[in-house]
C-alpha cells in the first residue's frame, strides 16, 4: 500500500514500514532504543515486532498498564523515571507500540524528555491507526479531561501493520470504526457502503483512505485554527459523554468509538435541526450506528454532568461551546453555537 | 534601552515592555489573562506590575511556592488544574512574573496546556533576566535532575525591568552574576571590569550585553546541537554540585550562581590542564569568584554522588560526559572528555 507523506514524516504500511525503521536506525545512529508497550501489546504485538528490528544497539522495553485511566501524568512520571534510570539520552529513540493511549502518551513523554527525543509510532488498534497516525497530537488526560495536557509534535515515522488488528476484540475494531464513519460523513460518503459491510478483509483500504483524508486536513490546518475542527464531528458531545461514563462509578466505561457514535447521532440531529440536513440522512446515520454499536441509555439525571464537562472542551473560546455540524453529507459548518435545550433534545433523539 | 530581537519575539526593556504587552493584549484579544507568581513576587513585584496593565479582560492570579524544590511536576499539576478550574481556554494568556522557576515552569505549563497557549515572561531576578529571557527553554526538574522534563517553546514577549532587582537580596544578585561572568569568559572578557565593580547602578548595561551575547548564540543554534553548548560553561559540574547540595539533607542549598561559580573554577582548571589555558588566567578567575562568592567546602566523600549525578547531564551522549573548556578567554572548545581523576583534581583546586 502506498506510503502517505505527512507534514515532516511518512506513514508507511507493513513491510515497507519496518524497512524504513531499520534505515532510520542506521541513519540516526541512536544511542539506545526504548519500546513502550502495555501488557496486551507486550504479549500480542511485541514478539512479532521485535523480529523485524535489525540493530545491535541496546533495546529496552518499558511497560505501562493498558487503559484510558492510565493516560495521565502519573504514568508519564513513571516512564520519564524509567528512561532516566535506563540512561536514555538525547540521542535515544522511543518506539511506541500500542493503541492511542500508548502513542499519545509516548509521543508526549518523548517530546518533553530532556526537551525532546525522537519517537516512532506503531499504532496497533484500528482507532489509533486511523486517528492518531497523522496530525502530531500528543498528550494525556488531566483528571477526567481528555488530552488536556500535551503538545503538537511529530514522530519520525509511523508504521501501519493491519496484522496487529487480528489480536483485537471486536469491540475495539468497532471503536475505531466510529472515526471512519466520521471521515465518511464529512468528506467521502461513498465509504459508507464499505463500512456497512466491513470485516478484516476489506479494512485495509478503509484505513488507507481514512489516513489520506485526515492527512489532507491537518496539512491545511496543523494547529486547529480552522478546517481541522471538522475532525471533532461527533466528538464535542462524544468526549463529554466518554468522560462522564469514565468518572461515574456506577456506569461501565464506554469505548471511545461507542461514545463518539452517540455524539455523531446527536450532532447529526443538531445538523438536521439547525442546518436543515435532510431527515432521511439523519435517520440513515442513526440506523447505521445502531447496527454497529450497543444502545447506551443516557438518563435525564446524567445531562447536567455531561453539559458541565462540555465547558472544558478545548475548542471552546470565550466560554462558548463550538460544534461542527453538517449542512449535508460532505458539507460541514464549523463553530456552531447550540442552546442547552437543543442539546437535551439531541440526546432524547439518540435515546428514542 | 534598545529592544533585542530574539527568534520569534522581542525582549523589551522597562516601559517599552509594558507598552508592547498592552498592544499584544489588544492585538490577540485574549479571552482571559493569568499571572503566575510566587509569594515573593506577589508581594514585591505584582503591585507595581498590575498598575501597568491596561485591559478590561478577566485577570486571575495563580500563586505557587517559591524555590527550586517546587520546580516539579506536582506544581505543574497544580497550575494546570488551577487554569482548568478558572476556565482558561486556548485563547488565554499566561504571564509569568518571577525568577527562573516561575518562567521555566510557567513556560512549560503554558506550552502544554490544551496543546499550548501564549505566554509572556517577566523575569524578576538577575539570573532569569540574563539566562532565561532568550533561548526558549522551558521545563521542570525530575527528582533531583534539573530541567529533565521540558521543551523548546518561545514566549510572545519578554519584559526586562531592572526595578524588580531592588526587591532582591544581595545573594540573589550574586547568583545571576555567575552567568554574566560566564558570558564574559567565553565571549567578552572586557566585561570583567564592570563585573568586578558591579552594583545596581551599572547593572543595566551588563544585563543588556549578556542577553545580546546569549541571543546571538541561540539564534545560530536553537536546539543545542553545537555552539549553544558553550552556555554550559561551568554548568556541567555546577549542575551536579547544585543537585547534590539540594538532595543532601545535611547541607544547605547553594544558589544556582554559587554552584555555577564553583563549576567555573573547576572547569577553568580543567581548561588549564587539558587545553593549556595560562595559569595566571585560571588564577584570575578563581580570585574573582572568591571575591564574590562564599567558599563552599566539597569533601572527598561528596565526590562519588556528584560524579554519579554527572551521568544524567542532558548533554551526554553514548554514556560520555561532555565538557566545554577554554583554550583561552573568548576561545572555547566543545565536547571535551575528562577523566574522573582530573575531575577530582579540579575540585581539590577549588578547595585549595
pLDDT for A120 equals: 98
Q: How many CB atoms lie within 10 A of CB B201?
A: 6
Predicted TM-score (pTM) of the model is: 0.91
Q: Report ipTM for this prediction.
A: 0.90
Half-sphere exposure of B342 (CA within 13 A, CB side): 14
Question: pLDDT averaged over consecutive 10-residue blocks of chain B (352 residues)?
Answer: 96 98 98 98 98 97 94 98 96 97 98 98 97 94 91 98 93 95 97 88 92 96 91 95 90 93 98 98 97 94 92 73 95 94 96 94
In this model, does residue A61 exceed pLDDT 90?
Answer: yes
The contacts of residue B301 (CB under 8 Å, 6+ apart) are none
- Measured over the CA atoms of residue B108, residue B256, residue B222 and residue B148, the dihedral's sign is negative
Residues B344 and B350: beta-carbon distance below 8 Å: no
* Higher-confidence position of B18 and A197: B18
pLDDT for B246 equals: 86
* 8 Å CB contact of A314 and B90: yes
In this model, does residue A197 exceed pLDDT 80?
Answer: yes
- Distance separating alpha carbons of residues A146 and B114, to the nearest angstrom: 10
- Measured over the CA atoms of residue B310, residue B312, residue B314 and residue B320, the dihedral's sign is positive
Give CA torsion, residues B55, B56, B57, B60, to 10 deg: 80
A113 contacts chain B (CB < 8 A): yes
In this model, does residue A97 exceed pLDDT 90?
Answer: yes
Residues A45 and A164: beta-carbon distance below 8 Å: yes
Half-sphere exposure of A162 (CA within 13 A, CB side): 15
pLDDT for A149 equals: 98
Choosing among 3.30.70.120, 1.10.10.10, 3.65.10.10, 3.40.50.1970, the CATH entry for B4-167 is 3.40.50.1970
* 8 Å CB contact of A317 and B90: yes
* 8 Å CB contact of A81 and B142: yes
Residues A8 and A155: beta-carbon distance below 8 Å: no
A312 contacts chain B (CB < 8 A): yes
Residues in A touching B84 (Cβ below 8 Å): 142-143, 145, 148, 312
| pLDDT band per the 50, 70, 90 thresholds, residue A80 | very high
The contacts of residue A104 (CB under 8 Å, 6+ apart) are A71, A132, A137, A138, A139, A140, A147, A150
Distance (Å) from the C-alpha of residue A84 to the closest C-alpha of chain B?
7
* 8 Å CB contact of A151 and B151: yes
Angle at CA of residue A291, ends A287 and A294, nearest 5°: 110
In this model, does residue A315 exceed pLDDT 90?
Answer: no
pLDDT for A130 equals: 97
pLDDT for A246 equals: 86
DSSP calls for A118-170: EEEEEE-SHHHHHHSSSS-EEEEEETTEEEEEEEE---SEEEE-GGGGGGS-H
When CB atoms are compared, the residue of A91, A142, A152 closest to B84 is A142
Residues A150 and A202: beta-carbon distance below 8 Å: no
Interface test with A, best of B75, B85, B88, B89 (most A CBs within 10 A): B89
Nearest by Cα to A126 from A161, A86, A84: A161
Backbone angles phi and psi of B221, in degrees to 5: -145, 75
Distance (Å) from the C-alpha of residue A39 to the closest C-alpha of chain B?
26
When CB atoms are compared, the residue of B143, B147, B317 closest to A90 is B317
Distance (Å) from the C-alpha of residue A242 to the closest C-alpha of chain B?
18
A89 contacts chain B (CB < 8 A): yes
A316 contacts chain B (CB < 8 A): yes
The radius of gyration of chain B's CA atoms, rounded to the nearest angstrom, is: 20
**Nine-digit cell at A253?**
466505561
- Distance separating alpha carbons of residues A14 and A327, to the nearest angstrom: 38
**Nine-digit cell at A211?**
489516513
- Distance separating alpha carbons of residues A36 and B16, to the nearest angstrom: 48
- Distance separating alpha carbons of residues A283 and A220, to the nearest angstrom: 32
pLDDT for A56 equals: 95
Distance (Å) from the C-alpha of residue A28 to the closest C-alpha of chain B?
13
Which sequence spans correspond to the domains of chain B?
4-167, 170-351
Residue reference for cell 561551568: B234
CATH 1.10.3210.50 for domain A170-351, yes or no, is no
Our measurement of the distance from residue A47's CA atom to the centroid of its chain's CA atoms, rounded to an integer in Å, reads: 24
A80 contacts chain B (CB < 8 A): yes
Print the SS3 string covering B175-236.
HHHHHHHHHHHHHCCCHHHHHHCCCCCCHHHHHHHHHHHHHHHHHHCCCCCCHHHHHHCCHH
In this model, does residue A312 exceed pLDDT 90?
Answer: no
pLDDT for B223 equals: 86
Mean pLDDT, rounded, of chain A: 95
pLDDT for A144 equals: 79
pLDDT for A346 equals: 97
Distance (Å) from the C-alpha of residue B56 to the closest C-alpha of chain A?
14
Our measurement of the distance from residue B191's CA atom to the centroid of its chain's CA atoms, rounded to an integer in Å, reads: 19
Beta bridge partners of B149: A113, B140
When CB atoms are compared, the residue of A31, A73, A84 closest to B317 is A31
Residues in A touching B73 (Cβ below 8 Å): 73, 76-77
Q: Please compute the mean of the pLDDT values over residues A266-272 and round it to a whole number.
A: 98
Residues A73 and A21: beta-carbon distance below 8 Å: no
* Higher-confidence position of A310 and A76: A76
Amino acid at each position: 500500500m502506498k506510503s502517505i507523506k505527512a507534514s515532516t514524516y511518512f506513514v508507511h504500511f507493513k513491510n515497507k514500514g519496518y524497512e524504513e525503521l531499520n534505515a532510520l536506525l542506521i541513519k540516526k545512529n541512536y544511542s539506545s532504543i526504548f519500546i513502550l508497550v502495555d501488557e496486551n501489546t507486550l504479549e500480542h504485538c511485541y514478539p512479532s515486532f521485535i523480529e523485524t528490528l535489525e540493530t545491535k544497539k541496546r533495546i529496552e522495553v518499558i511497560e505501562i498498564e493498558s487503559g484510558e485511566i492510565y493516560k495521565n501524568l502519573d504514568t508519564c512520571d513513571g516512564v520519564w523515571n524509567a528512561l532516566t534510570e535506563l540512561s536514555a539520552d538525547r540521542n535515544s529513540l522511543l518506539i511506541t507500540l500500542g493503541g492511542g493511549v500508548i502513542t499519545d502518551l509516548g509521543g508526549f513523554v518523548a517530546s518533553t524528555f530532556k526537551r525532546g527525543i525522537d519517537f516512532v509510532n506503531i499504532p496497533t488498534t484500528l482507532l489509533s491507526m486511523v486517528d492518531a497516525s497523522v496530525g502530531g497530537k500528543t498528550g494525556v488526560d488531566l483528571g477526567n479531561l481528555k488530552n488536556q495536557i500535551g503538545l503538537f509534535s511529530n514522530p519520525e515515522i509511523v508504521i501501519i501493520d493491519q496484522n496487529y488488528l487480528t489480536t483485537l476484540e471486536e469491540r475495539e475494531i468497532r471503536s475505531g470504526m466510529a472515526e471512519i464513519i466520521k471521515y465518511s460523513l464529512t468528506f467521502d460518503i461513498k465509504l459508507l457502503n464499505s463500512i456497512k459491510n466491513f470485516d478484516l478483509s476489506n479494512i485495509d483500504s478503509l484505513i488507507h483512505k481514512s489516513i489520506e483524508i485526515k492527512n489532507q486536513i491537518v496539512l491545511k490546518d496543523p494547529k486547529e485554527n480552522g478546517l481541522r475542527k471538522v475532525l471533532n464531528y461527533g466528538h464535542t458531545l462524544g468526549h463529554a459523554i466518554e468522560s462522564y461514563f469514565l468518572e461515574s462509578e456506577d456506569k461501565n466505561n464506554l469505548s471511545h468509538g461507542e461514545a463518539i457514535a452517540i455524539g455523531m447521532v446527536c450532532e447529526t440531529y443538531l445538523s438536521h435541526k439547525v442546518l436543515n440536513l435532510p431527515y432521511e440522512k439523519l435517520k440513515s446515520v442513526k440506523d447505521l450506528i445502531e447496527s454497529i454499536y450497543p444502545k447506551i441509555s443516557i438518563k435525564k439525571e446524567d445531562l447536567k454532568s455531561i453539559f458541565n464537562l462540555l465547558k472544558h472542551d478545548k475548542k471552546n473560546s470565550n466560554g462558548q461551546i463550538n460544534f461542527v455540524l453538517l449542512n449535508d453529507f460532505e458539507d460541514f459548518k464549523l463553530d456552531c453555537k447550540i442552546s442547552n435545550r437543543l442539546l437535551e433534545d439531541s440526546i432524547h433523539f439518540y435515546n428514542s
